[in-house]
Structures are given as structure tokens and as C-alpha cells.
Amino acid sequence: LAASVRERALPDFSFVTLQHGEKAVVRGGRLVNDPKTLPVKAP
């Protein structure tokens, strides 16, 4: 997963939707899936 972030050269703090629908954020070239860093979306 981190390799795909590097391949796409995603900027820091860009949001990524993972294949199961959960969100992750790019920080320092790595995906971080931390609920505290993600925008809260109402269902």
C-alpha cells in the first residue's frame, strides 16, 4: 500500500479511499489510517 502511494506521488494530507471504503490520509509519503486524522463524514 505504501508503495502505491509512492508510485502515485500523492501529496501529504491528501485523502485516499481504500478498497473496503475506509479512508486513509497521506502523511510523509505514507498512508495513515487514523480516525483522528480523518474528516468525519455523517452516514
User: Residue 25: inside a domain, yes or no?
Assistant: yes
Domain that holds residue 23: 2-34
Distance CA 36, CA 25 (A): 10
Cell of 15: 485523502
* In a domain? residue 40: no
| Residue 41 falls inside a structural domain | no
Q: Which residues are registered as beta bridge partners of 24?
A: 16
Residue 10 lies in a domain: yes
Query: Rounded to an integer, what distance in angstroms lies between the CA atom of residue 10 and that of residue 12?
Result: 7
Considering all CA atoms of the chain, what is the largest pairwise distance in Å, rounded to the nearest integer? 31
User: How far is residue 31's CA from residue 29's CA, in Å, rounded to a whole number?
Assistant: 7
Residue 19 lies in a domain: yes
Q: Report pLDDT for 39.
A: 61
Whether 43 is covered by a domain: the verdict is no
Question: pLDDT: is 36 or 25 the higher one?
Answer: 25
Residue 13 lies in a domain: yes
Instruction: Answer yes or no: is 39 within a domain.
Output: no
* The pLDDT value given to residue 37: 59
Q: Does residue 7 surpass a pLDDT of 80?
A: no
Q: Report how many domains make up the chain.
A: 1
- Tell me the pLDDT band of 8, cut-offs 50, 70 and 90: confident
Q: In the predicted model, what is the mean pLDDT of residues 4-31?
A: 78
